[in-house]
Amino acid sequence: MARETKAKADKTETEAAEDTPAEASVAENAAAGEPMAEASATVDQPAEQQPGMPMFYHRPVPMDSTRHAGKALTEARSFAFAAQSNSVPLTFDEFPVVIRHFPIVFTAGDPAVPVAVLGLQKSENLYVEADGRWAEGVYVPGYVRRYPFIFLERPEQSQFALCIDEDSGLIEDGEGERALFADGEPTELTKRALDFCSAYHRQFIATREFCEALNASGILDEKTANIAVGGDQRVALQGLRLIDEEKFRALPDETFLEWRRRGWLPAVYCQLMSQNNWALLARRMGARLRAAGAAASA
In the predicted structure, residue 32 carries a pLDDT above the cut 60: no
In the predicted structure, residue 130 carries a pLDDT above the cut 50: yes
Q: Each residue of 175-234: pLDDT tens digit?
A: 999 999 999 999 999 999 999 999 999 999 999 999 999 999 999 999 999 888 876 788
Band (pLDDT 50/70/90 cuts) for residue 3 is very low
Q: Where are the beta strands (DSSP E) in the chain?
A: 14-15, 23-28, 39-42, 60-62, 71-73, 87-89, 104-107, 114-117, 149-154, 159-165, 171-173, 181-182, 185-186, 220-228, 234-243
pLDDT of residue 95: 98
Distance separating the N- and C-terminal Cα atoms of the chain: 54
pLDDT of residue 20: 37
| 135 DSSP assignment | P
Rounded to whole angstroms, how far apart are CA atoms 291 and 272? 32
Of 26-30, 67-71, 268-272, least confident by mean pLDDT is 26-30
pLDDT of residue 33: 36
Q: Side chain identity at 184, as an amino acid letter?
A: G
pLDDT of residue 36: 35
Element (H, E) at 201: helix 188-217
For residues 48-57, average pLDDT: 72
pLDDT of residue 157: 63
Residues whose CB falls within 8 Å of the CB of residue 127, separated by 6 or more in sequence, listed in order: 118, 134, 135, 138, 284
Phi, psi of 195 (to 5 degrees): -65, -45
